Structure 1
């Protein structure tokens, strides 16, 4: 028996004691998580910056966002644990029957985190799983060795391994973990790896939440506040150097305002990062040289209107604007996951909607407009995980909104109550008065009994 099987067995045995189902246990574990973050905040900031240079605002989000969601969950958890009454057929209700739904944890949850948001996107799901009453095995990203090493050190100091454990390593470790019958798997990463996770989960019929990427559109119509839209979209596409799953992947601009949008977007790049983004402390680096090479290969220098520079040695790709871009261009084939913003134009909104819908479903979509008819049409016609109107990225940090994808951008939701529901099973209970007769269900069947069965469908 390998060490991962032993760890899983230990967690399953612990879960089977039912201790994790209590409100006290869940609050206690969340308090430990908050304590770990608060008492080591500066060290977390430093390790994230060590793994790849990040702006201080991004470091703050990494630590403070989980702290915020912990407080929200703690304030609501008692209510979430209450059984939910369910209606029953009228004749059963008249006879004293009642129905209830209990939210039941699954058991041991494997959480596989990404390199981007190495704290945030690992601990957000962990908070969700713990609040739902599950034990947790955290798999850190091999691409963020400093942050992973810190979690390797701190998790055992704050948690018992039967409750929360951490595993570091790369493909070999993930492969071994995926062979095991976890009760739930939560994965954040690419669609390519998501398919591998889903195949492995199918071997044990393990439920999953997959938070995957997507080529996210930002649609700017002719009524939009162009300066505002340009600055927000440029920020959204370049914060974390574009290594953010909900970032705008491309700007789709009505042709009548396209030139103005390009002008304002170029201005926004300088306002945000100055004339030397490489040496600006508020501009992040790319995770590794391999990703720099990949991103550089996507940049058509003939369409660069801002940026375009890169350095593998310095893990740098400049904030880059490409215009005009067509759907057939290489940059539009897949999620970019870097600080490059292609700018496309449209003339007809229905055609724009058709083009977006013919592409894989995105994780996020953003609409910039002051026309309610256009806005409503876009929101109703497009399929996406979540998004915003006249704002980008920020929806991920609103704890009362679910976060998740659809189609190739993922399945399942988390954050707050939506995450609690995803990581629990709705266990249905029908409660009968003791000794209540169900003679009409017993054979032999008569016409009177069959007629009585019709009552099952009256509420």
Structure 2
């Protein structure tokens, strides 16, 4: 028998008891999650540092964002759970019918988290699932073992196992979990593993949300405020040492300002991380020596205009800028997921758009410009999950902006209302009047069929 079948059965029987349906149960789970985060904040931050030297800001980010999500659901849960009246054809409405949308939980939800934000990107989906009335089995990343072990210790202290449980381990444990018929699966990670998850889910026709990645394009045109652009790109690309699925992956900069852009970007990187970023307390490490070696292999010495140093045993790669990059370079063949930033000069925005359109769709995209026509042209032509104008990365912090990918970069959106809706089955209902005759039944020979059908228009 599958080793995790008893846990699935436990949570499913609990779900069938309908104990998760009331708002009171959901609010209690949110309270428990909040207490777990607040009462163990320092221990959680310490675990993040031990796993890959996450700096203090990035540690606290993983705590404060889930707390904000909890507060959102606490304030809006009543409205999110309430039946939603919808318009129906006038003829049906005139005969006493009405339309309503009900939201119901799916059931037992498996949440598989990534290593780069092993608290935030594991708990945010779990919070949405609990708010929607689901039970949750959490699978933290095995590449952040200290954080995973801490979560395995903490969760049973705050949650009943039939509500929330944690399974740790690696590929073997994930494979066993994916054999089971969950009611919903939420996966954050690479596109390659996303395909594995989707194939497994297809065996049970289990709905999924896949939060994946890809190369996120950034465009800087000749009207951009370069001081603003370089700071936001430097931070957005190098936070978590580039291991952020929404990080700017490469930059197209207009040739007329390219040299100025590179000069300012270099100064911004020094201001943020110093002349020796290896000593900076604000630069995380790569998650493994393997990944440090992988990212270092993308560095072409002849194209390094800033950085270029690395120390594989220390899992360190210096924030590096490559210019002028081309699509034939190693760093342009896949998502870098590290602090190496290719910069490509361009002359015509149309050529840039045509190139990007033919690449796999990205999770994010960014444009820096003061020209609204240029902004509109880019946003209207390039498909991606979400992004920013004259900003980077911050769109993923905002509850009112649904977050997720498209195509290669994922499927499904969450955060705020979108998260509640995604983790709920939308039950569309027509409520009929029990006392008003609506004759649409045979025999039809003596009926005005057009008149009968008119109630539906």
TM-score between the two structures when normalised by the length of structure 1: 0.98
Matched, 1:68 2:68: yes
- Within 5 A, what are the aligned runs for 1:40-439? 40-439=40-439
Pairwise CA distance, 1:449: 4.5
- What RMSD over aligned residues (CA atoms) do the two structures have, in Å? 1.0
C-alpha spacing 1:118/1:445, structure 2 compared with 1 (3 Å): same
Q: Is the 8 A contact 1:237 1:249 kept in 2?
A: yes
* CA displacement, residues 56-103 of structure 1 (integer Å, 9 cap, x when unaligned): 100010111111111111101110111111222222211111111001
CA contact (8 A) 1:385 1:406 kept: yes
Distance 1:421 1:72 in 2: 14
Deviations 1:220-251 (A, max 9, x none): 00000112101210111111000000000011
Alpha carbons 1:234, 1:341 under 8 Å: kept: no
**What's the CA shift for 1:274?**
0.5
Q: Which residue of 1 aligns with 2:443?
A: 444
| Superposed structure 1 runs of 4+ greater than 3 Å apart | none
Structure 2 stretches lacking a partner, 5+ long: none
In 1, Cα distance between the equivalents of 2:330 and 2:153?
A: 43
Residues 95-143 of structure 1 deviation map (CA, whole Å, 9 limit, x = unaligned): 1111110011110000000000000100011011111111100001110
Q: What are the superposed Cα offsets for residues 295-324 of structure 1, whole Å, 9 maximum, x if unpaired?
A: 111111110111111111101000000000
Deviations 1:400-452 (A, max 9, x none): 11110001000001111001111111101111122433432x22222624223
What is the TM-score normalised by the length of structure 2? Answer: 0.98
Determine the C-alpha separation between the residues in 2 that align with 1:248 and 1:456: 53
Q: Give the secondary-structure state (helix, strand or coil) at the position aligned to 1:240.
A: helix
Distance of 2:305 and 2:280 partners within structure 1: 20
How much has 1:369 moved relative to structure 2? 0.5
Give the distance between the partners of 1:345 and 1:217, measured in 2 at CA.
13
For 1:295 and 1:390, locate their aligned partners in 2 and report how far apart those are by CA, in whole Å.
Answer: 27
Q: CA deviation at 1:398?
A: 1.1
Describe the SS at the equivalent of 1:359.
Answer: coil
Deviation, structure 1 residue 454? 2.5
The whole-number CA distance in structure 1 between the counterparts of 2:456 and 2:347 is 52
**Who is 1:25 aligned against?**
25
Q: Identify if the C-alpha distance between structure 1 residues 86 and 447 changes in structure 2 by more than 3 Å, giving closer, same or farther.
A: farther
- The 8 Å contact of residues 201 and 208 in structure 2, kept in 1 or not, is answered as yes
2:302 match: secondary structure:
helix
CA deviations over 1:253-310 (Å, ceiling 9, x no partner): 0111111110011111100000111011111111110001111111111101111111
Q: Is the 8 A contact 1:105 1:133 kept in 2?
A: yes
- How far did residue 358 of structure 1 move? 1.1
Q: Deviations over 1:179-236 (max 9, x none)?
A: 0000000000000000000000000000000000110011000000112101210111
Q: Secondary structure at the match of 2:186?
A: strand
How far apart are residue 328 of structure 1 and its match? 1.9
Structure 2 residue aligned with 1:455: 454
Q: Partners in 1 of 2:219 and 2:248 — Cα distance?
A: 10
